[in-house]
Structure 1
Amino acid sequence: MAFLSIFLLLAGCAGNAPRAPATTAQTRPAPLLLISIDAFRADYLQRGFTPNLQQLADTGVRAKAMQPAFPSLTFPNHYTLVTGLYPDHHGIVDNNMLDPKLGRFSLGNRKAVADPRWWNEAEPIWVTADKHGLKTATMFWPGSGTKIRGYRPDHWLPYNGKLTPTQRVDRVLQWLDLPPGERPTFLTLYFDRVDHEGHDFGPDSPQVDAAMHRIDAAIGRLIAGLKQRGLYRRMNIIVVSDHGMAPSPASHVILLDKLIDLQDVTITSMGELAGLIPKPGRDAAVEAALLKPHPHMHCWKKQDIPARFHYGSNPRVPPIVCSPQTGWDISTSGWLATHKTTPGSHGYDNADPLMRALFIAHGPAFRDGLVVPEFPNVDVYPLMTHLLDLPAQPNDGSYDAVKDMLRPDAR
């Protein structure tokens, strides 16, 4: 689920830890703008509602798809994109999780979301950029409103879901109008409406099509603004999504209370990924009930999660993890008595085509009219650190896997 109403952050900009000397205009790399369109499934581009995105793809680089990290949820994947680490390695392992020392993290727990200790297991690219003298600006990116390892972006806003796509674009353009000493070299921009409509009406709904059209109009406004400022041919732009979206019929529900005694477990998350912690002495009973085959769900002990998921070593991953079949939901009778299921969901097996994400890149560093095969989203981070001439922090990505997207002189 997109991060609606989750940031309780102090507005404005706070001082960062000491940084390297500021770069000069001669040494500063070309500006880089990272745009996320939450839940824009890779095949949405073919629907014909996004001519501006299509133009960027046709005159730049487009991937057939980008594979999200597991679980294919918003917070884990947005942090993967800016750290190059799988969720198991950067610590944001779910939208809802328990930490042995910090307690509970959830999208609605504003105090937890603003606590840097949840984010400090990794260093996002804006922190590295700040350390090396580059100015940064983030428009609504998970983690960007809290001080991570002593740094937060130079320019940022607390999340406000009422800010329209046009207003978000205009703020980014305002940041690019700042004097050279304050102007950001690395920026992010986030749009959430496609995700909301996908959840509320399903991925094949006219509401999703309308949301795509609206976001694309904002992208058009951005392009026009960059051209007016002489930046369009000088700025590298990467457009991604965090995951796709699948239809989830209301009848496709797996009830945990039909399988186990809920008094035997602490539930850390439900929905498209369930995490459970058996209570003392109840391990055997819970494992016997959940680890056997189920028609629409697979459960594992965390140490037995398939290696392809790169998931299960972090202390925040609960002892038992259950992944439902795409389109199914793991819930309880009590929860369903007071909540409704949604027609669209994500968080499923990241190899499922319905979870595939968008990737488009355009700018002076990128080749023209190139279509590349599907690749994992951990590779976006080393691509960005290369473009910004920054030392990549330890990560799970591969620059060699994506360098052919670049013009020879930019490699």
Structure 2
Amino acid sequence: MMRFLAVTTFFLLSFQAQAEQTVVLISIDGFRHDYIELHGAPNIERIASQGVRSEGLIPVYPSKTFPNHLSIVTGQYPVNHGIVDNNFYDTERKQRYKMGDGVKDSTWLTTLPIWNLAEFQGVKAATFFWPESEARINGRTPSYYFNYSTPAPNQQRIDQMVQWLKLPEPVRPRLVTGYFSIVDTMGHRFGPDSHQVEKAVKHVDKLIGEFWQRIQNEVDVPVNLILVSDHGMVDIKADAMIDVSTFPIDESLFETVNAQTRFMIYANEETTQQQIDDLRSQLGAMADGRYFIETETSLTQLGVTDGPRTAAIILGTQAPASFTSRAVEQRRDGGAHGFHSSRDMDGLFIAAGPAIKHQANISRFSNIHIYPFMAELLGLKLMTPIDGDGEVLAPLISSQFTHKN
């Protein structure tokens, strides 16, 4: 009897691996790579034990929410997908972008996200939140999506994703994305080691555990679950904050954007190179180790090239310092991200499902490689050049996996 069950299980798994695969991509914003151990996330840990977990997921520069979420679903560096920070300035458009503006004007995005790639090739997609997933990019949206609303109950997100996966085959999405923000929110307010972050981690862990169990019990199609986060989190201190009002910037010559972990200075059309060089020299002279000025070489190494959304001067810093415009009495300790890549900035990557090997831990890697990995699982052909490399995660795919098409 036991031998019969083993053979039956083998053929069932083989059938699932050869059937059309479904991918569910869930982002837990701000979930640092070590939160499973630090704060206790047994359900997520159990899912990892059934598939693959990386030592860390390296964010693109800057390690901010919108650039990294777009890099995960496009396989491109921010300079190529268009969303170079949560907030930035475009010197050609003479406009400022702030988080979510692509929904009102999709020309901010210069890219092909995974849900578009799927829809263009006849695969339905559904998004229960993902930065800019409501935007009509290339004239298309996912077949199913929700306009972003922070108060949307987290349980509703799980219920809806399960419901999508149970739809009849002609209308069922094979790509589903979900998003949870609470871990990031608590990290900013209280810091990564706080009780509040621990509580948020346990809350999301319970939901993910429920979702995984319901996939096994209620869903009849082969589902591969990919858990990611966009970045990690690190402590910042009020007494280490750098007051940007002290910088000698002529507002008639420059536009500025304070991105907290970096300060961007854009030259106006009438600003001369000499004026840019003079300001750079002044800022360098007053740095006193509190911040540094990004060089062309350093930016190139970070995947940043010259363009209308790349500031003429970029100031960077390291935790526990950050840039602020707040009065001293309004400054608070907390958490932040957006710094150069480090272990504190590393996010989470876990993948499990019938098409994924049980391969335990793998080395940390850049999040730009997830896009071609998902495309391969879904049987999609890449339609545009990307920065990611499909060979990086190809070894994670089961040798039994074959595309139906």
TM-score, length-normalised on structure 1? 0.87
User: What is the distance in 1 between the residues matched to 2:369 and 2:86?
Assistant: 22
> 2:4 — aligned with what?
none
Once the 2 structures are TM-superposed, how far is the Cα of residue 331 of structure 1 from its aligned partner?
A: 2.3
Deviations 1:341-390 (A, max 9, x none): 4500000002x110001000000111114210111111111101111111
> 1:171 — aligned with what?
160
Answering whether residue 34 of structure 2 is matched by residue 43 of structure 1, we say yes
**Counterparts in 2 of 1:335-374, with a 5 A limit?**
335-336=326-327, 340-341=331-332, 343-350=334-341, 352-374=342-364
Amino acid at match of 2:202: H
Amino acid at match of 1:376: S
Q: What is the percent sequence identity of the aligned residues?
A: 32
Contact 1:52–1:219 (CA under 8 A) maintained in structure 2:
yes
Deviates more, 1:399-408 or 1:130-139: 399-408
Answering whether residue 123 of structure 2 is matched by residue 129 of structure 1, we say no
> 1:33 — aligned with what?
24
Amino acid at match of 1:155: Y
> 2:388 — aligned with what?
397
User: What is the distance in 2 between the residues matched to 1:243 and 1:227?
Assistant: 29
> 2:61 — aligned with what?
70
Deviations 1:295-354 (A, max 9, x none): 1311135x443432111333211111111112211123xx4369544500000002x110
User: What is the distance in 1 between the residues matched to 2:227 and 2:56?
Assistant: 12
User: What is the distance in 2 between the residues matched to 1:50 and 1:126?
Assistant: 29
> 1:285 — aligned with what?
278
Once the 2 structures are TM-superposed, how far is the Cα of residue 260 of structure 1 from its aligned partner?
A: 1.8
SS at match of 1:251: helix
> 1:245 — aligned with what?
233
User: What is the distance in 2 between the residues matched to 1:294 and 1:310?
Assistant: 27
User: What is the distance in 1 between the residues matched to 2:101 and 2:47?
Assistant: 39
> 1:79 — aligned with what?
70
| One of 93, 114, 137 as aligned partner of 1:148 | 137
Amino acid at match of 1:142: P
Answering whether residue 293 of structure 2 is matched by residue 299 of structure 1, we say yes
Name the count of aligned residue pairs: 379
Distance 1:106 1:306, change over 3 A: closer
User: What is the distance in 2 between the residues matched to 1:229 and 1:174?
Assistant: 9
Answering whether residue 265 of structure 2 is matched by residue 276 of structure 1, we say yes
Which stretches in structure 1 are left out of the alignment for 5+ residues? 1-24
Amino acid at match of 1:367: K
The RMSD of aligned alpha carbons is: 2.2
Which stretches in structure 2 are left out of the alignment for 5+ residues? 1-15
Distance 1:116 1:308, change over 3 A: same
**Counterparts in 2 of 1:196-345, with a 5 A limit?**
196-231=185-220, 234-261=222-249, 263=251, 265-279=254-268, 280-281=271-272, 282-292=275-285, 294-300=288-294, 303-332=296-325, 335-336=326-327, 340-341=331-332, 343-345=334-336
Distance 1:26 1:250, change over 3 A: closer
Distance 1:95 1:130, change over 3 A: same
Contact 1:105–1:113 (CA under 8 A) maintained in structure 2:
no
TM-score, length-normalised on structure 2? 0.88
User: What is the distance in 2 between the residues matched to 1:309 and 1:236?
Assistant: 31
Distance 1:296 1:182, change over 3 A: same
Deviations 1:235-289 (A, max 9, x none): 1111000000000011111123323235353112331121112452532331112
Once the 2 structures are TM-superposed, how far is the Cα of residue 401 of structure 1 from its aligned partner?
A: 1.5
Amino acid at match of 2:192: P
Structure number with bigger Rg? 2
User: What is the distance in 1 between the residues matched to 2:288 and 2:303?
Assistant: 23
> 1:16 — aligned with what?
none
Deviates more, 1:76-85 or 1:261-270: 261-270
> 1:376 — aligned with what?
366
User: What is the distance in 1 between the residues matched to 2:232 and 2:113?
Assistant: 23
Amino acid at match of 1:240: V
